[in-house]
Chain A
Amino acid sequence: MKYFRSHILVCKDPDCIHKGAHEVMDALQDELVAEGLINEIQVLETSRIGSCWNGPEMMVYPEGVHYTNLTVDDIPYLVEEHFLKGRIATRFVEPEKTVKDEELGTPKSKEIRVVLRNCGKIDPENIEDYIAEDGYAALGKALTEMTPNQVIETVLASGLRGRGGAGFPAARKWSFVAGKQGSEKFLICNADEGDPGAFMNRRVLESDPHAVLEGMIIAAYAAGINQGYIYCRAEYPIAVKTLNIAINQARALGLLGKDILGSGFDFDLEVRMGAGAFVCGEETALMASIEGKRGEPRPRPPFPADSGLWGKPSNVNNVETYANVPQIILKGADWYASMGNEKSKGTKTFAIAGDVNNTGLIEVPFGISLREIVFDVCGGIKDGKQFKAIQTGGPMGGCLPASQLDLPMDYESMTAAGSMMGSGGLIVMDEDTCMVDIARFFMEFTQDESCGKCTPCRVGTRRILEILNRICEGKGRHGDIETLELLCKEIKATSLCGLGQGAPTPVESTLKHFRDEYEAHIYQKKCPARVCKSLISYEIQPDICTGCTVCARNCPVEAISGERRQPHGIDPDICVRCGICMQVCNFNAIIVN
Chain B
Amino acid sequence: MVVEASISERVHQAVENALTRFGAQDDELIPILTHVNHEIGYLPGQALEEIAHALRKPKSKVFTVASFYGMLSTIPVGKHVIRFCESAPCHVVGGRQVILALQQALNINIGQTTSDGHWTLLAVSCLGICAVGPAFIIDDDVYGNVSPDQVPAILGKYQG
Contacts and interface: CB of A to CB of B under 8 A. Distances in A.
Are A and B bound to each other? yes
Given A199-B128, A234-B34, A353 B89 contact: yes
A275 B125 contact: no
A193 B130 CA distance: 13
A102 B72 CA distance: 31
A292 B126 contact: no
A505 to B, nearest CB: 14
A334 B33 CA distance: 48
A228 interface: no
Given A291-B26, A292-B27, A294-B68, A442 B129 contact: no
A351 B92 CA distance: 15
A277 B71 CA distance: 8
A442 to B, nearest CB: 7
A235 B131 contact: no
A196 B30 contact: no
A196 B88 contact: yes
Contacts of A354: 89, 92-93
Contacts of B127: 235
Interface in B104-130: 124-130
Interface string B118-150: 000000111111111100000010000000000
Most buried by A among B26, B68, B71, B133: B68
B30 A102 contact: no
A196 B132 contact: no
A194 interface: yes
A521 B4 CA distance: 60
Interface residues of B, number: 33
Contact of B87 (A103, A193, A391, A445): A445
B33 A291 contact: no
Interface in B47-105: 64-65, 68-72, 87-89, 91-93
Interface of A is mostly: loop
A92 to B, nearest CB: 34
B72 A427 contact: no
Contacts of B124: 235, 276
Interface string A440-479: 0110010011010000000000000000000000000000
B68 A197 contact: no
A331 interface: no
A430 to B, nearest CB: 9
B92 A353 contact: yes
Most buried by A among B28, B70, B129: B70
B3 to A, nearest CB: 33
Nearest to B72: A275
Contact of A273 (B34, B89, B91): B34
Nearest to A360: B131
Nearest to B85: A196
Interface in A252-306: 272-278, 289-296
A277 B26 contact: no
B132 A234 contact: no
B30 A273 contact: yes
Nearest to A101: B131
Most buried by B among A202, A293, A361, A451: A293
B132 A102 contact: yes
A184 interface: no
B45 interface: no
Contact of B27 (A103, A290, A429, A438): A290
A510 interface: no
A198 B131 CA distance: 10
A202 B142 CA distance: 15
A276 B27 contact: no
A235 B124 CA distance: 10
A355 B100 CA distance: 22
B31 interface: yes
Contacts of B69: 274-277, 295
A276 B70 contact: yes
Contacts of B68: 277, 294-296, 451
A168 interface: no
18 contacts: A196-B89, A198-B130, A273-B30, A274-B30, A275-B30, A276-B69, A276-B70, A276-B71, A277-B68, A292-B29, A294-B65, A295-B68, A351-B130, A353-B130, A354-B93, A361-B131, A427-B88, A449-B125
Given A194-B126, A277-B69, A445-B88, 6 more contacts: A196-B88, A235-B127, A276-B69, A277-B68, A351-B130, A353-B130
Sorted nearest first, the 3 A-B pairs with minimum C-beta distance are A196-B87, A276-B70, A276-B71
